[in-house]
Structure 1
């Protein structure tokens, strides 16, 4: 048996229950993992509240790191004791679980379990955002919303290492200062400043070639208006709620703009892509170009409180759960 955080209905953090679940032995192509650290992400909240539908009852969570404790038939790439991490497979908020071996990545010795759980989903997200959805070039000025969050802090550092100039947004002066310490050149406090006016001022009226927006409803219109002609809005989250239906004619009116709604699952669907993206992420972290800030740790049983704090935007950097 394994202790896990499970929900039997969609709703607020109160639907999360700490209860025992059966794990069993790994089948063909599977391994069993003893989990050492578990990542907390907004996608977990979207699944818990029903914005993203999952089959019920469900164990929450999509990211963790730990050790292989048993290996099923046909698995030759992993052995008991190997240090591994994964992302994108619902059911992470638990002490032990079964996983398909081909969805796991092996961890370099220089990366700890808590660091891996704090960075894999967020770091791979940054990889596809800035290296694939729009390939950022030296000298590009980019707008990155929620720059003091887990994804944002990784992005600010990585973008700076590429020679890009980052305009971040955040909800307080303290969060703006944090984003600037991590590589943002400017940070707009959206509670006291007008995002569009400030971006136009900072770019001499030109706008930016790309906006990365995980906030959703509250920032979507402003994001479009910050783009230069032919610019791209990469909408990759809904922290403030889903984006309302879009009248495509606005894209023409604002300069023949582009909008994309990518997902990490699409970019990592092929094993070779998952491996190459993870390798690039591990390289920028082990080289010191990107540092992973784990600013919040909770026992696994306190997952509901972690969700409350994340939803209330009381967190910065990455948050992890630790099985006891």
Structure 2
């Protein structure tokens, strides 16, 4: 039997239970992974609430790392004992799990299992944003919210290596220091700051080429005003609440903004794309800067981990240690 965190029905963290389940043996094309860690992401919270529906009961978690302990028929790329990470496959809040073999990626020595488990989905999201949603080139100006958060800590150094200039928003001075350390060129501090005005001033009145907003309704209008004509606006989350109203008139023709609601789960659903994206994401993690994983929670404390992330009490990338 294996311990898992099971969601009984959509709703609050009280619907999460630490229970034992039989995992079974891997079928054709599968591996069984003995996990050492699983990441905690906002997508887990959206799935828990039913915003992204799952069949119940469900085991949440879409990224993790561990050691292969069994392989199914036809699996030749992995052997028992291999250390791997994965992203985009629901079922991570577990001591062990079955996983399609194509989802696995061997980890190099310079990428720890903890870093992979807590960061691979965010790294794949960064790849989607910087290479698919908006092709970043030298000189691209980017506005990203939650500059001390896990996604921004990966997006910013990756974008800097591509030649981008970055403005980040944060809520406190301490978080501003983290954002600057992760590659922001300038930081807007405070929930009541004039985000659009500061962004326009920073870009000589033009607005930024690319806005990445994971907050939702509280920052949507300011983000829109901060984006340049023919710029790109990516809404990647709703940590502060869902968008209340959006119409075509909000985006054009005067603004002429390209608006995206990109799904990293959809981005990673194609095995051929997945292979190249996960490799590029692992390379980006190994390229630095050195990241401190945290905060860390026991698997049995998954509800506390989700609450901490949901309430904005975390910086960096939360991890369930297994």
Verify same fold: TM over 0.5: yes
Alignment correspondent of 2:299: 300
Matches within 5 A, 1:127-146: 127-146=127-146
Q: Are 2:242 and 1:233 equivalent residues in the alignment?
A: no
Q: Which moved more, 1:188-197 or 1:80-89?
A: 188-197
1:166 Cα deviation after fit: 0.4
Contact 1:38 1:320 in 2 (8 A): yes
Deviation at 1:204, TM superposition (A): 1.6
1:120 positional shift: 0.4
In the alignment, is residue 13 of structure 1 matched against residue 13 of structure 2? yes
Count of paired positions? 322
Q: Contact 1:110–1:286 (CA<8 Å) still a contact in 2?
A: yes
Segments of 5+ residues of structure 1 without an aligned counterpart are none
CA positional deviation for 1:254: 4.1
Map 1:272-287 → 2, pairs under 5 A: 272-287=272-287
| Map of 2:319 onto structure 1 | 320
CA offsets per residue over residues 11-57 of structure 1, 9 Å max, x none?
12221111111111111111111000110100000111111110111
Q: How does 1:1-324 map to 2 (within 5 A)?
A: 1-252=1-252, 254-288=254-288, 290-323=289-322
Q: Does the 8 Å contact 1:224/1:254 carry over to 2?
A: no
Deviations 1:77-114 (A, max 9, x none): 21111111111111110101111111211211221110
Instruction: Give the TM-score normalised by structure 2.
Output: 0.96
SS of residue paired to 1:26: coil
CA contact (8 A) 1:225 1:254 kept: no
In 2, distance between residues paired with 1:156 and 1:49? 29
Shift of 1:257: 1.3
4+ aligned runs moved over 4 Å, structure 1: none
- 5+ unaligned residues in a row in structure 2: which ranges? none
Q: Distance in 2 between matches of 1:91 and 1:123?
A: 19
Q: Deviations over 1:245-302 (max 9, x none)?
A: 41101212542111011111222222222121222222233233x4333131111111
C-alpha separation in 2, matches of 1:245 and 1:269 = 29
